[in-house]
Structure 1
């Protein structure tokens, strides 16, 4: 901490670094960031323009605060992002590995207060039926998300200048009690949605979508659902238990959380225990799109139909990474061959643009089964696409 001048230290520790100081930092050239050289004239003029303002840095000679700040060993996370609009820092000026690991290198805060969008992790895999490990999904998705940049040129989306977003950390789940974890998740998301914030969730196994939708339905009423998965997750029970990652949407139907005429499940495939494993879904009014009906084709026409089906009422997106073929996303607990491609996944999420999206999740990333990190990277990209598809996002 000795690298800071006393006033600079005080401003940082009190969390009151002013916007003018940030503006000065932005005026400093790329060379300043990389070499620590600065212009005392810029700093001096800023100080004269703001005498006595709390948190402002005084007239400072070259080689003190900003030089130390950008070349020193300590770079506070809160100043890695624009303080006004929560715009992630560019890798042109701040190295990707630098800073506390957060989703898209966004600021971290303790609640959804003041946010339009909150990224929240739910590190739970107690509900898995095959390979565990999804509890580590949020951590690895965050790490891989540092590769993402600000804009989406393909869709014209400018999310960070349209919405205030931040990472609000993880739900404190109970790894030894699945029902208690569901209660904790429900209560956490009730707080998020009552603050008028759209949650985008990093899972965690698919059990987590059930308590999330409990909170969603409490605010919005029964919601439509765009569900991408290899499995319908509408089982009734297994080993005597009615809550695990194979049952969330059955429980949602039981509790009236879904508008069943506005539910579409895409990418469904795999062997089954019954001759007609999709009967329950169709009996509820779900549209079930099998993976083989998606092979070797664009899903743009399908999503045009889905948009008509969803209308202008609230819609939730739930994306199980095992909906993608394991050739692209091996890091998951229940892989099924012959799934969707990443480009089809983009078509699905981009096809949700224009819908009244009230939340979304990306679940079942189990990083230890993919040493390359590509599954978590794909998950981060899909969450970025969800962010870009939100109705409040401006497009060029």
Structure 2
């Protein structure tokens, strides 16, 4: 448990207390649905801790007992001292229409290997474009939720998910897709780093269970927090970046030293656990200043341009990918052909066509260990059935199918009536 690794803690600064008729006390936190009922003497001890004082864990364990202390840590009434800045306001909030089973972050400990956990991070470092990408991930969730919903709105009834493109059937009870909701973001209080650290915290917990995160952005700055978080459970990692841009831009100005969505891969390439970075679909043309710069080889970075992918295919990349390391997919929707506003804020001529990228993902899912994905730079505005958010939802659906036991549809057909047989 985390309490074995962390030595210093603080009491949550905003615990609320409610005396109950049976003599116990209910304690609760802001932006949290979790409420605990504790004995009045336990509440008295908790109240005695100063919210501003950092203390060794023994200072809490001695009066509370190990079991109570562990429970209060699990539900964030007591926080690791170095994480209180981004955890004290909560981590994620539930959404009205989740994709899959709704889950709060207290339930992460119940995940099992190969579960898939969806979360949305409204992270953005750009304020210069007319189109925001901070909340575009919600469009993807909406597509997924509609895909999974019972046609009559009866969520509790059994059913299967049919994929006509691939002739496959997947029982919804086997789906094991969980939705953590939206990362907490308080515009007047939080900055990019605060939101990013919440993302990292959740990814570390999800991957510690052997589960796979699917993160919806937000802009591509998200990659710094998600890929860095993976180092805790994947000391060797490959990254596949699908993108129209390299996100390795350097212009010789102060912004080069500031993490943002245009330079985030400079930060990623320096991460020790990242063994290889493949950039797929690159097609940008731009002016690179040379004065004050040094041209260096970057052997860990490989490129498959959009032109090569669409004219010669992906075979060169497949042959070079190391099947012995886990891979994380970082997907910027401007890699897609036809991605224009409102799909994304940074469109580029050309790109990867839908079935080309779908076929690529099918190969990756079947030949390599994909341990998570992120999808970024999705426009907040409404999109049509062919929009980037619909494409992303489709790619996620294939990830879910690839992880489960599916059944071939064949010539079988569901016919109304009580004597309907399952697919053979």
Match of 1:34? none
Alignment partner of 1:177 is 2:176: no
Secondary structure, counterpart of 1:294 in structure 2: helix
Alignment partner of 1:386 is 2:399: yes
TM-score (norm 2): 0.60
Runs of 5+ unmatched residues, structure 2: 1-94, 149-160, 409-424
How many angstroms apart in 2 are the aligned matches of 1:389 and 1:159?
A: 13
With over 3 angstroms needed to count, the CA separation of the structure-2 counterparts of 1:220 and 1:327, relative to structure 1, is closer
Match of 1:345? 357
Aligned counterparts, 1:10-159, within 5 A:
100-103=96-99, 106-111=100-105, 112-115=108-111, 116-127=115-126, 130-148=129-147, 150-155=161-166, 156=168, 158=170
Bigger Cα displacement from structure 2, 233-242 vs 186-195: 233-242
With over 3 angstroms needed to count, the CA separation of the structure-2 counterparts of 1:394 and 1:127, relative to structure 1, is farther
CA offsets, 1:104-158, max 9 Å, x none?
Answer: xx12110333331111111222346645411221221112223425244545473
Secondary structure, counterpart of 2:328 in structure 1: strand
Shift in Å, 1:363: 1.1
Alignment partner of 1:271 is 2:285: yes
With over 3 angstroms needed to count, the CA separation of the structure-2 counterparts of 1:351 and 1:129, relative to structure 1, is farther
Give the one of 203, 221, 224 matched to 1:207. 221
* Alignment check: 8 A CA contact 1:136 1:204 kept: yes
Secondary structure, counterpart of 1:218 in structure 2: coil
How many angstroms apart in 1 are the aligned matches of 2:306 and 2:289?
A: 17
CA offsets, 1:256-286, max 9 Å, x none?
Answer: 23112xx22110012212289xx97962322
> Whose helix proportion is higher, 1 or 2?
1
* Alignment check: 8 A CA contact 1:360 1:386 kept: no
* Alignment check: 8 A CA contact 1:152 1:388 kept: no
* Alignment check: 8 A CA contact 1:124 1:203 kept: yes
Alignment partner of 1:221 is 2:221: no
- RMSD value over aligned CA atoms? 3.0
> Whose strand proportion is higher, 1 or 2?
2
* Alignment check: 8 A CA contact 2:119 2:179 kept: yes
- Provide the aligned length of Structure 1 versus Structure 2: 288
Shift in Å, 1:361: 1.0
Match of 1:377? 390
CA offsets, 1:184-218, max 9 Å, x none?
Answer: 22122222222322101111111111111111111
